[in-house]
Every structure is written in structure tokens, then in C-alpha cells.
Chains A and B, each alone.
Chain A
Amino acid sequence: MVIFDKATKIYEDGTRAVDRLDLEIERGEIAVLIGPSGCGKTTSLKMVNRLEELTSGKIVVGGKDIHSLDPVELRRSIGYVVQEIALMPHMSVAENIAIVPRLLGWDKKRIRRRVDELLELARLDPARYRFRLPDQLSGGQKQRIGVLRALAADPEVVLMDEPFGALDPISREGLQNELLELQNTVKKTIIFVTHDMEEALRMANRVVIMRQGRIEQMGTPDEIQDNPATDFVRNFIGEDRLANISPDSPLDILVQEPILRVKPGRAASEVLDMMEDEGCETAQVVDKNGKWHGMALLWLLKQASRKGLSAADGLTRERKLLIEEATLRDAAEMLADKDLPIPVVNETGEFVGIVTQAGVARLTIGRLTRKRREVKD
């Protein structure tokens, strides 16, 4: 439906914003362009409705080279949603939705019918919302109207430039779901730009990861997640996955190496000395096959060493979590109960690592400073 053929955009200052982009977007597909700022995703989008002109290469929309079309006609045939929402503040909801149909010269009855139809599609009561002003709407409602406006003249292709970027996390997720639902009915070809990996994975039939004007990797969300092609992609996914942990997320992001890891045969007094040197109260006892024998605790070891026993006698095996089952919530509850590291093992009893209070704190702080979307339950 939309074909980029070596599409290139070089700005006057010599910046290669988009560099020989080859991309074919199927009819009815949601293709999400994602990448760090300056990767050319927005420029690529704007080239489709000629808000940015190609420097070289070709873009074909619906079988027609866009260069051969009048830009104004072209834009009227393509839906466009911008990040700022950009509802006209002096126009009512109905008037905003009707902008393109009006430009196309539809008659009043048809416009009115279409506006009501769209409002109903978005589950907004036309009688209530038709004459509202953008100022009288919530952020989520505004963006909904922004999407409806882009759909008003029933275009084949819709361009969305970070449409939910300005919303709070809760309305954002709601709108993402609504858009997906809407897409089931309208089946548009959507090119969607975002910098939020979570959003990309949720919305896309195909994710196009861009970097410095080129495609770094392209594929279905599963393909991208399962086989990141480069370190760049891996980082890009990983970084954002971390931002979306919830209390029910698996434990693995919290697991770290213990400071002390000792063999089970060691004497208790020896292990005590090592603990003193490292300044820690616990040690993980793991044999050479990686099997976990228990966690050595300072006071238990002291008792054992007084009796001249080995480290294996000063262990506790009660405190542990299974990597396959435990969630962040379990870890947090255990840590709140007792401020000691929690050993993490797998189902076959092999040692995986430990979870500490400091680690939880680090993760929490990391998440807070990232100011990313809120956890979902």
C-alpha cells in the first residue's frame, strides 16, 4: 500500500535524515517506526504526505508515485494524526472531525452523518460531544477526536506521529487498545511513529527499528523480541522492557551475583573470616556442579565454628525463591520481612543468584528517574 523505494531526505545543512529507505507496508497493516530521536522516523512519515519532500528515491502510495500527485490532494487522501493533537480550538468537535470532508466538498448531510458515525465508533455519544469545544474535553478524548478526524474521509492510509505521546500512562494504554479495536473495524494501513518500545510492540503488525536514517531491524514484535539483530536493537528493547516491569514481573531483572560464594566443604571458621573481610553477613554455598546447598548466616556460622563444624552446618535452606515462579512482589515481601539477601534457585536446585534490598532500591530509583509509563497490574 505504501512503498518506500530508496527514499532519501537530506536537509540543507547536509544532514541525512533518511538514507535510502526501502520499506513496503501492506494494506491493513500497522507498521510502527521506532528509534531514538533523530533516527528519521518522523521525517519518513512526513515524506509520505509530502510535508517533507524527498531528496531522492520514490514513495508510492496506493500504486501512485506521490511525486506525480498534487500535495494538497494527496494530503486530503491520507489521514494524519499529530502528537500535539492539534484540534482547532475555535472549532467544535464536529467541525474538527469534518475538516477534511469539508475540504473535499461533501454535502452537509453526509458530513453530519459521518461525524455521528465516527463518534459512535469511538463510543462518544454524538448528542453530547458533537458541539463540545476541544477545551471541554479530557486529554484522552481530545486524542480520540484527533484519530477520528484522521479517519473522517475514510482514507486508505493513516499517518500517526506519536499520537499518544502527550497522554498520561493510563489513558495512553486505554487509547492504544481502543485504536487496535477500531483498526479491527476500519482496517486501515497505518504508519505509526513512536519512541516507546512498549507501545510499538503492542500496536504493531510490524516493527521497523530505525537508526540514523536507516532500518536497523524490521519484523513482527515477536521476531524483534526473540531475535534482536544487533546490540543496538537489543539495548533498545532491553532498556524499555525494564521500564515496564510490574509487581508481577518475573524476578530475573533483580537477580545479581552474591558477594561471597563458597564451596560446601569449607570450615565454618574459614567462611567466617571471609565474611569479615568482605564485610557481609551471608554467603551462598554452592558446589562445583552449581547446586545450591544453602545460605550461610553469620550467627549460625558462629555457632558452628564454636563447635568446630564445617560451613555446611551453619546454613539455612528455608529462605529462597524459585526463578520460574517468583515475582517481584514475592521478593519485595520477603525483603520487607527480613533484610537479608534472598537466594534464587531453579527447579533443579541450581543456584541462580541473589536478590537484595539494595537491588530493589536501585531498580525502583532507576524506574522513577526514567519517568516512563507506570506499571500496570
Chain B
Amino acid sequence: MPDQKPLLDLFLAYIIRFWPRILSLTWQHIMISSIALAITLAVCIPLGIYLTRNEKAAPYVIGVANIFQTIPSLALLGFLIFIFGIGNDNAICALFLYAMLPVLQNTYTGLKNVPKHLILAARGMGMTEYQILMRVQMPLGLPVIIAGIRVATVWIIGTATLASAIGGGGLGRLIFSGLASIRNEVVLAGALPATILALVADQALKMFQAHADPKRRALRLSQKTETSADRP
């Protein structure tokens, strides 16, 4: 039985032997996730902004995103085979649909939550609608928007492991083949990097979120300029 050796030994042996494969699958995983995330952001942030200006449409659009999010991810992947066939395209599309909701919802609420009187004051001072968006709403809504992106990112990285179930790449390959051959060290070799990826991405975004906080930004600014102002 292969289980005679402790899991850790088997795992280390597997890594030492197959690290180039693990690395390339990790890279694939990152690529799939990044592309899916990029599409999600490119679609959902503008859409969220649009919804703040067309509020009647908001419940419907967010409702649709909600439906996609409720469908079990594996079922969604299976369903999309009819449209995209098998492979990474299908996976990326499914991940995008799956991750729409948090980004869309948070963009919408983040911008909506900017106090009305600030927007009125900005307009009254002669900002164009675009300037109001970029100089007032976005900076103030950014922490909420990034919070949505964080959730979407973690979901995407986690769910991307399922891509291999429909013929895509990524760390899911290791997990599924490990499961099929009952070799826990192989499962672990796929699951561990995927987990680390998710954690690292989440932490990075968390730091960015704190960094983007309007108060923090202003504080940084004041400290920076204050020290420079002290100089003659």
C-alpha cells in the first residue's frame, strides 16, 4: 500500500520530483484566474457605475448576477460546455459569470453610499458628471469596491480548480487526478498552492483596500506634505 509512508514524505517526494509540472499548472491557474478576474472587472465596474445612473435597471441586472452566483459552479461549468465546448474558454466564462455579483453589487452600493450632499456640492461647484465620478464618488466608494473585488478574487481562484473537470488546465488537474488515483499527496500538491494563491491574493487586496481608504490616503498626503512644508 502506498499509504505506508507518512503523507508528508510522499508529498515532499512528489514535489521534488514534479515541481516543474506543479509550477506550470500554478502558472496556468494564475492565468485562468487573472483573465477571468480582468473580464469581471472590465465588465462589472462600468456596469455598476452605469446602474447608479439608471437605478430602475439595477434590481434586474443585479438579480441576474445573483442567479448566476446561485447556480452551483460545477453545474454552471457543465452547462457552458454546450456553448463553449470544453477547455479554458468555458472555464473563464463560467468564472466570470460566477464572480459578477460581488463586484457589481459593491461597485453599485459603494458609489450609491457616497452622501448625496457631497455630490450636490460637487455639482454646485461646477464639476461635470464625469468629474464627480472620478474625484468624489470613486475615491469615496473605492474601499467598498475593493472589498467586492476581494471576494470575487478568492472565489475565482478557488473555483478555477474545477476548470480541469471540463478539460481546462490549472491546479485542479492535480486535485482531480489525485482523487481519481487515491493519492492524497497529489491532491495536496494541487490544493496547497491553490490555497496559498487565494490567501496571498486576498491579503494583497486587503492591503490595497486599506491603502485606498480615503482617510488613510489623506493622512498620508498630509504627513508627506507636512514634512516637506517644514523645510525652508
Contacts and interface: CB of A to CB of B under 8 A. Distances in A.
A133 B215 contact: yes
Nearest to B142: A90
Contacts of B127: 72, 99, 103
A84 B218 contact: no
Contacts of B140: 89-90
A100 B131 CA distance: 12
B213 to A, nearest CB: 9
Contact of A131 (B121, B128, B214, B222): B222
Contacts of A149: 125
Interface string A70-85: 0011111100101110
Contact of B126 (A46, A72, A91, A133): A72
B136 A88 contact: yes
Contact of B226 (A83, A90, A91, A131): A131
B116 to A, nearest CB: 9
B126 A76 contact: yes
Contacts of A99: 122, 125, 127
A51 B124 contact: yes
A362 to B, nearest CB: 38
Task: With a 10 A CB-CB cut-off, give which of A46, A82, A132 has the most chain B CB atoms.
Answer: A82
A327 interface: no
Nearest to B230: A127
A99 B132 CA distance: 11
A90 B218 contact: yes
Task: With a 10 A CB-CB cut-off, give which of A46, A76, A90 has the most chain B CB atoms.
Answer: A90
A87 B47 CA distance: 28
Task: With a 10 A CB-CB cut-off, give which of B117, B121, B131 has the most chain A CB atoms.
Answer: B121
B17 to A, nearest CB: 53
B218 A86 contact: no
A49 interface: yes
B219 interface: yes
B126 A100 contact: yes
Given A92-B222, A103-B131, A130-B229, A75 B214 contact: no
Interface in B33-81: none
B217 interface: yes
A76 B125 contact: yes
Contacts of B139: 90
A135 interface: yes
Task: With a 10 A CB-CB cut-off, give which of B117, B125, B140, B229 has the most chain A CB atoms.
Answer: B125
Task: With a 10 A CB-CB cut-off, give which of A75, A77, A83, A159 has the most chain B CB atoms.
Answer: A75
Nearest to B117: A84
B43 to A, nearest CB: 27
A132 B225 CA distance: 11
A82 B116 CA distance: 12
Given A51-B124, A75-B125, A135-B215, A92 B117 contact: no
B134 interface: no
A86 B121 contact: yes
Contacts of B117: 82-84, 86
Contacts of A103: 125-127, 131
A76 B128 CA distance: 10
A153 to B, nearest CB: 9
A127 B125 CA distance: 26
A73 B214 contact: no
Nearest to B223: A131
Contact of A82 (B121, B131, B218): B121
Interface string B175-212: 00000000000000000000000000000000000000
B29 to A, nearest CB: 36
A80 to B, nearest CB: 4
B123 interface: yes
Contact of B217 (A86, A90, A131): A90
A103 B229 CA distance: 24
Contact of B222 (A75, A86, A89, A133): A133
Interface string A220-248: 00000000000000000000000000000
Contacts of A84: 115, 117, 121
Interface string B105-148: 00000000001011011111111100100011001100000000
B75 to A, nearest CB: 43
B228 to A, nearest CB: 10
A83 B215 CA distance: 22
Interface string A120-138: 0000000100111101000
Contacts of A131: 221-222, 225-226, 229
A89 B214 contact: yes
Contacts of B115: 84, 86
Given A89-B118, A91-B218, 11 more contacts: A73-B126, A74-B126, A75-B124, A80-B124, A86-B118, A89-B218, A92-B218, A92-B225, A100-B126, A103-B127, A127-B229
Interface of B: 115, 117-118, 120-128, 131, 135-136, 139-140, 214-215, 217-219, 221-222, 225-226, 229
18 contacts: A49-B124, A51-B120, A73-B126, A80-B124, A80-B125, A82-B121, A84-B121, A86-B121, A88-B135, A89-B118, A89-B215, A90-B215, A90-B217, A92-B222, A99-B122, A100-B126, A132-B222, A133-B218
Q: Which 8 pairs from chain A and chain B are nearest by CB?
A: A90-B214, A76-B126, A86-B121, A75-B126, A131-B222, A84-B117, A80-B124, A86-B117
